[in-house]
Structure 1
């Protein structure tokens, strides 16, 4: 970043001579709790052709299960923060007992920072692995266009929502969708849980009601019913634009998945403003 710090020796296994100098757009040093990292921002078109699976999937993310698809399959929520909370609280107590400005306090703060860093990395790797699996198994993925900033205003659920890392999962879905030429569609979340996936009738439910029961005879798990509605809305958004025949899409974000409720091919250029690409060089 033009800081003029001089020449550095890079420790690692990556061969930077594989890339042309003009492909390296930015180099910066990033400080983490366990050390410094050199981060390279590269301009690389990653387009991998895969065989179509002729499958579609609708995903409803949640807190009890990380996601539920339209077939009723669930992926358990790992709850990394909840599992590591006991250790973090213990390290926080140890930090508060150390004298300010002392070396022992610095060491205690370092241990606490590493514990938080580990949880963050666990979330990232889990989201990446699950998103990759979903993209590899399907040609079209529909999911809710959730506004996490609004959801965490509920202080009773804020910690659990942040621990679930839904936005990070969505970001990886969109990245792998671009990389492998798959279609990812964000649909409006309104009434996906309330409407019946069989007849469309609205059946009011509280958050504690986990089973959808409709007068038409449809009885489903609440999340499975929502996933079916999400997939139906995603398919209606894609229309007849060629769900399984799209060309691979630029991995830098010029072309990508669709915006909420818009026609697939008419506006794919603009999602970069809604969901910026996550840096993959950490």
Structure 2
């Protein structure tokens, strides 16, 4: 699935109608959660029947498109199914018990309730919420895709306005020439990542750079009177700046991931549990600011798009194990240089990146046998004469998030 996003331009009354549609979808979702809490064991079909009862009871729910209400039911059941799945898997800690949504920011339509113009530059919502015709501002061209391939249309509210997202069922693959190279990546806080060739990508630290401005905007909010117009304006300015930082972080991760994937045929990275790492309150802000999750997400996405191999490696002992002889050298986080008795002296992150690549190559042994170049340059040498990397890795399963 591909997602194309446009800025929605309309009147103030139309924006109010979008807010009402979002609140109605939130109401349906929360009512379904409450119905499940009061009647344990109900399934998705029971929630659909309850949604029909809600549409008959409340006129404002009936004004929303029926498919949009069904999507709200799907969101409620998704949280319920995830809770049951976590319980069955005996995941330690909290199991994700379904909660009520307080501030939803989107409403999703399926194949009805909306209509695109002939130029594909305007969209009209045909339900009784009164959203009407909205202009679409963006660089994407929807004329390349059939209307039947547009499976969902989503209205999203953000601090800087309203957006329309189109979920298109289409393939997004680009043919690329093999480079014959493999690389291992070790992410960090001082440097964004260090690869197995010793190259480092600097960490931009967007949040740290904007902390002074954020503190100023936060003080402006606290000085205004609750419920006043000035307070709403101050909150909006603060939200816009937070949105700017998140977009900067996302674009940086996307740009770096694309360059890494296009330059290599195999990319190995750490399989980090970010949720567990941020429990360290001393490092939580820096870890979130680094954007490791966004980087991994885009690595996997571009790996599928360009037909490259991406492998997540267990990071255990990759920093302590010597990349030359395999000896485990204990070291604290403050020790940034790896020194082994075999004479190997490397930067700590460089040593970890080489180990990550070696583990990835051994993991992929079932689809082909590769050996690491003695000079640790990251080049791939095939043991099968004339066999390409894609022929060796043809059976490897590649996964990517739905975008």
Contact 2:180 2:389 in 1 (8 A): no
Equivalent residue number for residue 254 of structure 1: none
Contact 2:266 2:310 in 1 (8 A): yes
Indicate which of 106, 127, 130 corresponds to 2:256. Answer: 130
Secondary structure of 1:193 counterpart: coil
Cα drift, residue 267 of structure 1: 6.5
Shift in Å, 1:265: 6.5
* 1:202 maps onto 2:328 in alignment: yes
**Per-residue deviation, residues 1-55 of structure 1 (Å, max 9, x unmatched):** 3473454323224332321112111101111110000011111111211111101
Which consecutive unaligned segments of at least 5 residues does structure 1 have?
A: 248-263
Match of 2:291 among 162, 165, 174: 165
Flag structure 2 segments of 5+ consecutive residues without an equivalent. Answer: 1-107, 114-126, 371-387
Return the offset for 1:268: 1.7
2:348 is matched with which residue? 222
> Which whole-Å CA distance do the structure 2 matches of 1:15 and 1:75 have between them?
34
Instruction: Provide the rounded CA distance (Å) in 2 between the counterparts of 1:266 and 1:140.
Output: 14
TM-score by length of 2: 0.62
The residue aligned with 1:24 is 150
The higher radius of gyration belongs to 2
| Higher RCO structure (Cα 8 Å, ≥6 apart) | 1
Give, in whole Å, the separation in 1 of the partners of 2:304 and 2:394. Answer: 14
Separation in 2, partners of 1:125, 1:149: 22
Equivalenced residues, count: 259
Displacement of 1:241: 1.7
In the TM superposition, 1:140-219 aligns within 5 A as 140-219=266-345
Counterpart position of 1:245? 389
The C-alpha deviation readout for 1:143-188, integer Å capped at 9, x for no partner, is 0000000100111000000000101000000000000000000010
More helix by share: 2
Distance 1:100 1:47 in 2: 51
Kindly indicate whether residue 140 of structure 2 is the aligned counterpart of residue 11 of structure 1. Answer: no
Cα distance in 1, alignment partners of residues 269 and 133 from structure 2 = 44
Q: Deviations over 1:112-143 (max 9, x none)?
A: 00010000000000000000000111000000
